Homo-oligomer: A and B are copies of this chain.
Amino acid sequence: MTVTIRDIASDAGVSVATVSRALSGNGRVGEGTRERIAEAVERLGYQPNDLARSLHGGATGTIAVLVPDITNPFFPELVAGIQAVANERENLLLLCQTGEDPATAVRELRHLRRKRVDGVVLVGGLVPDDALAGAVEGLPLVTVDRDTGLSGRWSVRADHRAGGRIATEHLVELGHERIAHVAGPEHLSVAQERLGGYRESLEASGLEADEALVVHGDFGEAGGHEALRTLLRRRREFSAVFCCNDLAAVGALHALDEAGFRVPDDVSLVGFDDIHLAGYLRPALTTVRQPIHDLGRRAATLLLEHAVPGEAERHEVLEVSLVRRDSARSVRGRR
């Protein structure tokens, strides 16, 4: 049925060993034989079987990425970065979605191990370390935007704390004194850090840190929407809102809109991430840019180049920057 190395061997009148050498380019093979082999390969339409090849213990040339939800626009950009370096090195990329469920993640990790992937990029912080530890033992792994206690593991992340600071500082510079924050899920370290940056900046500016101006939501549009409604219900004065990410900012924008506040005329808004969407919105969203694509590139590069378990671990922190667009402006009206 399928043509194997043996078929082309007999067709070319040589042994399988010679064919193997000719194809893998390992040992030396005579010019003439090489040609006859190439010919036979062509004529018979031979397709090497990577399964058999990898069975020998070599690499599979396949890595995997685990994301919470590919539908969230942050992740496709990240995946694209990973994919880019995977392709450069002729690796294939398996995409897994955890749906933010630790059990699913662990199950998928186990599945990936059976498939003998060369390594995995784990994105997000939703799996407890202990559950993870067993599932990834001996598996090359690089985490992204995840606060991991796993020892010997490599990680890549943006400087979320600096991001929180930058966003808040920008609003302070615009003259805002009552700055609210729509925070992310409390248990996520990236959310904590952004919140921490916000607080640091407030303090550094000598502004009052009114805890009633901080409301926790999630990283989704609905969460931002709901969070802002909660904030509004508290009836505290504020003239600007720093949202934990762009999607939440979209929700906040809509909630503000529904309540009759105009952005940025009545309230200024700053997001985080700088997903493509941010530039499409009206007003275009001022936000903190994470180098999402590079985050992916770095993660994949580390994974493919260095991340053998046990090797000295390494943690990279990428810089963020402010992207000024139209959703934040100097203070005028206020609630």
Binding site for B on A (CB under 8 A): 45, 47-52, 54-55, 60-62, 64, 69-71, 73, 75-77, 79-80, 83, 87, 90, 92-97, 110-116, 137, 221, 250, 253-254, 257, 276-277, 280-282
Contacts and interface: CB of A to CB of B under 8 A. Distances in A.
B90 A111 contact: yes
A115 B51 CA distance: 6
Given A48-B114, A64-B92, A69-B80, 13 more contacts: A45-B137, A49-B116, A51-B51, A51-B54, A51-B60, A51-B115, A52-B55, A70-B80, A71-B77, A73-B76, A79-B95, A92-B112, A281-B282
Given A51-B60, A51-B116, A95 B97 contact: no
Contacts of A92: 64, 94, 96, 111-112, 115
B116 A50 contact: yes
What is the oligomeric copy number?
2
Nearest to A69: B80
A280 B282 contact: no
A83 B94 CA distance: 11
B60 A71 contact: no
Contacts of A73: 73, 76, 276
A114 B280 contact: no
B71 A115 contact: no
Contact of A93 (B45, B47, B50, B95): B95
A80 B95 CA distance: 10
Contacts of A90: 111
Nearest to A64: B92
A55 B92 CA distance: 19
Given A95-B93, A112-B92, A257-B282, A70 B50 contact: no
Give the 9 A-B CB pairs with smallest separation, nearest first: A95-B95, A50-B114, A70-B76, A51-B55, A76-B76, A50-B115, A250-B280, A51-B51, A71-B80
A294 to B, nearest CB: 14
B60 A83 contact: no
A200 to B, nearest CB: 31
Contacts of A111: 90, 92
A112 B91 CA distance: 11
A115 B61 CA distance: 9
B71 A276 contact: yes
A137 B45 CA distance: 10
Contacts of A114: 47-50
A90 to B, nearest CB: 7
A149 to B, nearest CB: 22
Contacts of A276: 71, 73
Nearest to A263: B282
Contact of A277 (B52, B254, B280): B280
Contacts of A47: 110, 113-114
B71 A76 contact: yes
A79 B83 contact: no
Contact of A95 (B52, B94, B116, B221): B94
